[in-house]
């Protein structure tokens, strides 16, 4: 797998067109790593001139900021900004809506000004430029629902790019009752991913999974590694893992083409 780092390319005097910000989940979480690889396969196939920071990348600080630790957030932010500015990064793409939101909205004030895209937006632009094609493959005709990540949807008003990609797969896109700006959170945001939930009557991911099950999808498509984990857990808790798959949009596109 061809994954150049910024350090390597800079040594060769090459300035890549876009930095792929992998994120902590994409780097370390076994499930999310598959999403990372699927995205890289598509980038390679489309011959996108990209690079990753590799070991020079560090947490954006998102969970620290949402947990109220502004110090730690800004330490992370300034460290990352220093690295990215040193490489003269202009454009960033990431498969994590939390990294996307943080770098896009919270880094500029601290000196990190980049064009930031979510991977679904980036893939949409590749599609529009004719650099990739999307076909249904084995997914053709399947019922797919898209779970809006809060930090992509409400937080940044990106609702259509992921849906346009899904429609290209020649599938039946079905919407949950609460979707787009009314979408229900998976339960992971605001640093909840890293702690047990407070006492309640139900887990949020179960509530969301039940809503998805109501419309009987074959696949729940996600655009966030944390949503993916939460929905996968939800499906398991309902013992539906043999009937329903939880896949990132980029995995759907890569799998359909047997990449």
Partner 1 sequence: MQYLPNILFAILLIIGIGFFAKNVKKLVRNIKLGKAVDRTDNASLRLKNMMNIALGQSKMVRRPIAGILHIIVYVGFIIINIEVLEIIIDGLFGTHRVLSFLGGFYGLLIGIFEILALLVLISVIIFWIRRMVIRIPRFWNKEMKGFPKNDALYILYFEMILMTLFLTMNAADTGFQQANSGNVISQFIAPLFSGFNPETLHVIERTSWWLHIAGILVFLNYLYYSKHLHILLAFPNTYYANLNPLGEFNNLQSVTDEVKMMLDPNVDPFAAPDESEVNDDSMPEKFGAEDVFDLNWVQLLNAYTCTECGRCTSVCPANITGKELSPRAIMMKTRDRLEEVGKNIDTNGKFKLDDKSLFTTISDEEIWACTSCNACVEECPVNIDPLSIIIDMRRFKVMEKSAAPQELNVMMTNIENNAAPWQYNQLDRLNWKDEN
Q: How far is the CB of 133 from partner 1 (least distance, A)?
A: 26
Choice between 26 and 171, CB closer to partner 1:
26
Distance CA 215, CA 121 (A): 26
- Looking up tokens 């797969």 gives 169
Distance CA 78, CA 36 (A): 25
Read off the tokens for 122: 């980036």
Q: Are 51 and 4 in contact (CB under 8 A)?
A: yes
Choice between 67 and 173, CB closer to partner 1:
67
Choice between 24 and 93, CB closer to partner 1:
24
Sign of CA dihedral 74, 68, 232, 174: negative
Q: How far is the CB of 148 from partner 1 (least distance, A)?
A: 10
Give the burial class of 242: count Cβ atoms within 10 A of its Cβ; 0-12 exposed, 13-18 middle, 19 or more buried: exposed
CA atoms within 13 A on the CB side of 76: 20
Q: How far is the CB of 181 from partner 1 (least distance, A)?
A: 6
Q: How far is the CB of 18 from partner 1 (least distance, A)?
A: 17
Choice between 33 and 240, CB closer to partner 1:
33
Choice between 113 and 142, CB closer to partner 1:
113
Beta strands in 105-163 (DSSP E): 115-118, 143-146
Q: How far is the CB of 61 from partner 1 (least distance, A)?
A: 7
């Amino acid at each position: 797998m061809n994954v150049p780092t910024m350090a390597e390319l800079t040594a060769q005097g090459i300035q890549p067109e876009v930095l792929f910000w992998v994120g902590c989940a994409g780097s370390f979480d076994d499930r999310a790593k598959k999403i990372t690889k699927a995205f890289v396969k598509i980038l390679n196939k489309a011959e996108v001139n990209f690079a990753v920071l590799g070991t020079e990348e560090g947490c954006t600080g998102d969970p620290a900021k949402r947990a109220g630790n502004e110090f730690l957030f800004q330490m992370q932010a300034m460290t990352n900004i220093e690295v990215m500015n040193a490489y003269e990064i202009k454009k960033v793409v990431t498969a994590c809506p939390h990294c996307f939101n943080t770098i896009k909205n919270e880094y500029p004030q601290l000196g990190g000004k980049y064009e930031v895209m979510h991977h679904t937006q980036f893939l949409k632009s590749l599609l529009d430029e004719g650099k990739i094609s999307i076909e249904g493959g084995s997914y053709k005709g399947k019922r797919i629902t898209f779970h809006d990540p809060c930090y992509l949807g409400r937080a940044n008003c990106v609702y259509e790019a992921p849906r346009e990609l899904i429609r290209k797969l020649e599938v039946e896109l079905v919407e949950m009752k609460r979707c787009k700006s009314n979408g229900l959170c998976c339960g992971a945001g605001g640093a909840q991913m890293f702690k047990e939930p407070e006492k309640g009557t139900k887990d949020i991911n179960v509530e969301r999974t039940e809503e998805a099950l109501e419309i009987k999808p074959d696949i729940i498509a996600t655009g966030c590694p944390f949503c993916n984990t939460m929905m996968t857990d939800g499906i398991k808790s309902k013992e539906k893992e043999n009937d329903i798959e939880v896949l990132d949009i980029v995995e759907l596109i890569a799998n359909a083409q047997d990449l």
